Structure 1
Amino acid sequence: MSGNDRPTVLVTGGAGYIGSHAVLALLDAGWPVVVIDNLSTGFRWAVDARATLVEGDIGDQALVGRLIAEHDIGAIMHFAGSIIVPESVEQPLKYYENNTVKSRALIESAVEGGVRHFIFSSTAATYGVPETVPVREDMPTVPINPYGWSKLMTERMLADAAFAYPVNYCALRYFNVAGADPQGRTGQSTKGATHLIKVAVEAATGKRAGVDIFGTDFATPDGTGVRDYIHVGDLAAAHVEALALLVARPDESHVMNCGYGRGFSVLEVLDSVDRVTNMRIERRLAPRRAGDPPALVADNNLILATLPWRPARADLDTIVADALAWERRLAERG
């Protein structure tokens, strides 16, 4: 290992949206980084040049085992997987393959290679439709879509592995991730993305004619879905702090929400985009999508009590402005 406090980190899916931000946060904090990504949805250019990028699949245990040995990997940060909720309803086996079966292979590779620390990119979708909002980590996990189940199964595998083998883990349950690196180094670049703020800034830059509002009859103040939007930069910072905790306390594992504890409706988000762009985005009403709960808002008291992490960009207009700036950079790239 490259020093007890800074083991080399293998980042899976590090060429993707959240993964590329985590790579930047790790590198900026002095952690050596190796990225494995099959580039099915990620981008080679999104990986900072300070990291080593290997094109490959996390289900390829021979390759992953070789990387662990060659680079003396001490920790894994696992982002690779499929993330679109409606698609998971239509193609459940794809999600159980990419998110569950391949995660099992990765965990086995970690155990066999002696990797001690594992950070997992989990999701608020593990809660399903919570009985109360905000949602605490000790509330029932009853997913309502295959995406949520595929992630919850991986959490279970990690808990069992941590009991049986010398490995500890932290599962971070994301709420709605948005925004982009404030320095403009990376951002949400996937074509056909379904995230609301991404879709809205695409509309604001002329890539879309408008924004579909999926459901106006939810039991929420204005009838549209309410979500807790977290800036991707704050989320990446939480991963670095969680990794430092795992290294410092190798006998502890954790499951924590990553959110701000404040929800915004679809209409409130679109109003924010209107403010930031000084224009009005066309809104189109559409039926609800399969697998969408009315409201998902984090209770973030546990992460605030456990880590020295504090949100730095917890303002909706700031999140939108960073997303918009990145969208304009993408437009310039052509």
Structure 2
Amino acid sequence: MEGLLDHLLREELTALGGVDLAVSEFIRITDQVMPRRVFTRIVPELLAGGTTAAGVPVYPQLLGSEPEVLAANAARLATLRPDGIDLNFGCPAKCVNRHRGGAILLDEPELLHAIARAVRAALPVEVPLTAKMRLGVDDRSRMLECADALASGGAARLVVHARTKRDGYKPPAHWHEVARIQEAVAIPVIANGEIWTVQDALQARRESHCAGLMLGRGAVADPGLPAALRAHDLGQPVPSLSWAALGPSLWSYWQRVQAKVVPKHQAGRVKQWLHYLRRTHPQAEAAYLRLRTVHAPHEFGAALAAELGVPQRMD
């Protein structure tokens, strides 16, 4: 989730539990090998054993269309010892697709295979390669071909967002189509798309035949969703993350943002998260409406502290 779910928010979400693995926002690869500082800027977890503070491994994700250049970048990235590397063939953004990145490549399964094969060959054997795709560009006619191209090219696991590029993020997600991919390839398949609740997650599993799920917007809107799903799977009471319990995470996020983001964008970053939280917390809706016109960092921090009941001396 470019521009939102970066390392600052990963720290908060993984700290709340239930997450087995995280994937970074994409690292755009064009025609050159990136210096290591680019990888560590986007995935600073690489400087701390490759995990978040909660111990959740983070796979850096590469996006591009040139097999040899992607392979060379993957080889350099591997020197930073990530737990794995992911390839992005799922991004539907027009600005990305115009430059031959993301989901637009799903019309070229031969290229997908060449990329996966080249990157896999460039990596040490102990570093797994994974990939994410959609069901296609304009339709689903080549989805099995694309999945096979990635699997036979060396991907050890495949995440499938259950919509085409044309579908974007418009409901519904076609989880039943992921079941066809699951049956067609010999590697684990993870279902993704339109999972907002535990009930959605269980329905996605039933229709996709996938035990594993990737959460994106659903975990941002309901940060307690991964832990709730984990509790369900363990046969434990399913918790609900209250607004009061979420408050420390929001405050911690604000402090992280202040330390790492330029002042003019600080308030906007927290408002982005509040915007998603409106879906599950009425208090977030009220807070968002009160805070949306506050921009100066000091004023915003004071207003956020008041919303969360944080003593002013902590600001």
TM-score, length basis structure 1: 0.36
TM-score, length basis structure 2: 0.38
Quick check: which one's strand share is greater? 1
Between 1 and 2, higher relative CO (CA 8 Å, sep ≥ 6) is seen in 1
Quick check: which one's helix share is greater? 2
